Structure 1
């Protein structure tokens, strides 16, 4: 009996050992090149990939030296993106490791051609992640963007990532878009989406030099611009900075921003938007669709540049109405651009109407491309002032 127990125990132990995979596919850190950002450009009839790779000896604070750059960039071309990625290994001393990439930058010309193959490859890549942010270049290439050295942040990819988050939270003209969100958005009825855009301020060639981060004011900087508009997987244009902020208002993505309101006589008032809530509803009347957008906005008085007594309720009431009017007019202008100029349903009105009445939607969906540009959209804006500060009576000198 004890022999049988020992035999069974041995068989069980052997089975467990066989089931354990261990680290059969492990790779040591010193065998890898850590990629922080990836760029994809169109180069004639080829696809060009650029990777930004960390220089470990320089980024480590206790080993940093003054004569080395914090990152290196490598570039390779191929007939396809996968081909270019494989050819990249002929240049890099270590195998590129993409799991820590924060940013993927799509060159403007590549984006105009279409992003189907790019998204397909990154979705299928088992080594990659779906949490990285996707950005489009404006008036430059992805290679040029990745070659610019940035102050404060040793790794330029970290600078781009943090600037995107900060501007999204405090200004409202950008929006973080990760791979999964982009694929889902482009998979909608008219395959439309938006992505943040980035551009170079200054001479791109100077931005490659270490001198760009050795001066009090960097001569070359990276700056986020207006949102890039996509339809059918292709870039069709860019929203302006104001239009991008309006888009985020309409899409309920404003966390904080500000408004400049003209005073009744002269001067301006600056207000800080501290909260914005947007509700979008769809309606059908005899199979004729329409959309209603209700915005409820809270603001604080930030700066007063005219004669005003903020202790009077009528002053605050007038300020609320003027802010509401100004925001509403700007939103209507931007909506007209989105519907008429780009004819891209980036605000996903089709999904709102489908949720409202899917039977009615099924009857009109085949005509949506012609219905959308003329779709009636009613915008309502209610602004409420919550704080006026401690100085309630301010006058110009």
Structure 2
């Protein structure tokens, strides 16, 4: 009796050759004649080497197609590129405003489910059409989509607007409260934050309101605070207010909830440690001067947070975690409030306090 061992063939059976793939660097979504329009930047690796002029050529080409669904649009691309799209190098997804007003998760759902794609790609909304951004030429980076992704990543250092990945956004929209946000692009520049309620655009926050959003959610990693200085620049014709700049070293937020006559009051206390990075005064700072600057900076943070709260209350969009704070601290009360929370949120009392402390106060007072 003979025994036979059958060995399966080993190897990368699902591998794909580079010359058979179109490597996607970035993608944008718009509406066109009732269909989805997909715009993609496809990498051209051969053009990534510096040219004879000392600059890199544009290392991508832009392609477009449409479909009744996103999947249909994707599947028609091989007819244009003669290669199958490969998504693992895609670093940014840009949603056009019309798509944002309709449904974002419906558009991004296929990409989130796709095992080939890393869900850590960044997402952003375009104030106009996403295709216009992806067709814009840049001089600093031969791959414009990567330039945008780099700018979004830098937001975590400047704390001007939120850094949001595909995974982050899909998790936010899955929250029962149904709110989410992502940065907003105007051409190639980030200009604020888009706020979503039930998967549709509710409105946009400007720079100050975006900083308030980050502070209220404990997402400020670093950045700057600009406050009026005690000095004034005078010339023969004008008198101009000077400013002092603080560098944020650390910031966190504490949320507390109390109930008065069965109504919730959510309190946010923002603590911020800073260094005085730039000050026009050549004189030594006294302790009272430092305290005054700290108060000015604290008031600035509070104003930004309150401006954000007012906007999102107008939109009934709780992107500041008020409902979550109630849920965590008073779960039984939250059971009573959670149904129809978006209608109750605008009338919910929210209090904000901020406390800025200058680090290394002695170094500020005297190096003269």
CA distance in 2, matches of 1:265, 1:58: 53
Change (3 A) 1:191 1:21: farther
Please state if 1:71 is matched with 2:71: no
Secondary structure of residue in 2 paired with 1:151: coil
CA distance in 1, matches of 2:367, 2:225: 19
CA distance in 1, matches of 2:12, 2:76: 27
Q: TM-score if structure 1 supplies the norm length?
A: 0.83
* 2:248 corresponds to: 273
Please state if 1:344 is matched with 2:317: yes
CA distance in 2, matches of 1:31, 1:119: 25
Secondary structure of residue in 2 paired with 1:360: helix
Structure number, greater radius of gyration: 1
Please state if 1:363 is matched with 2:309: no
Please state if 1:84 is matched with 2:73: yes
CA RMSD of aligned residues (A): 2.5
Q: CA deviation at 1:69?
A: 2.9
Contact 1:308 1:394 in 2 (8 A): no
Q: CA deviation at 1:284?
A: 3.2
* 1:154 corresponds to: 142
Moved more, 276-285 or 236-245: 276-285
* 2:170 corresponds to: 183
Q: Which runs of 5+ in 2 are unaligned?
A: 233-241
* 1:173 corresponds to: 160
Deviating above 4 A after TM superposition, structure 1's stretches of 4 or more consecutive aligned residues are 61-68, 388-395
Q: Which runs of 5+ in 1 are unaligned?
A: 201-221
CA distance in 1, matches of 2:215, 2:15: 46
Change (3 A) 1:66 1:348: closer
Moved more, 56-65 or 281-290: 56-65
Equivalent of 2:47 in 58, 73, 89: 58
Per-residue CA distance 1:18-53 (angstroms, 9 max, x = gap)? 3x6532222211111110101111112010001101
Contact 1:133 1:178 in 2 (8 A): yes
Q: CA deviation at 1:257?
A: 1.6
Moved more, 315-324 or 60-69: 60-69
Q: CA deviation at 1:120?
A: 2.1
Contact 1:52 1:72 in 2 (8 A): yes
Moved more, 341-350 or 119-128: 119-128
Change (3 A) 1:66 1:326: closer
Per-residue CA distance 1:30-79 (angstroms, 9 max, x = gap)? 11111010111111201000110111110145999989531101000111
CA distance in 2, matches of 1:91, 1:66: 29
CA distance in 1, matches of 2:51, 2:115: 34
* 2:18 corresponds to: 29
CA distance in 2, matches of 1:54, 1:120: 24
Please state if 1:251 is matched with 2:217: yes
Secondary structure of residue in 1 paired with 2:148: helix
Change (3 A) 1:65 1:93: farther
Equivalent of 1:332 in 306, 317, 323: 306
CA distance in 1, matches of 2:254, 2:164: 21
* 2:84 corresponds to: 95
* 1:46 corresponds to: 35
CA distance in 2, matches of 1:24, 1:375: 57
Contact 2:37 2:73 in 1 (8 A): yes
**Number of residue-to-residue matches in the alignment:** 359
* 2:108 corresponds to: 119
CA distance in 2, matches of 1:104, 1:36: 9
Q: TM-score if structure 2 supplies the norm length?
A: 0.90
Change (3 A) 1:371 1:345: same
Please state if 1:230 is matched with 2:217: no
Secondary structure of residue in 2 paired with 1:318: helix
Per-residue CA distance 1:95-133 (angstroms, 9 max, x = gap)? 211111110111111111112321321222232221111
CA distance in 1, matches of 2:321, 2:248: 25
Moved more, 379-388 or 226-235: 379-388
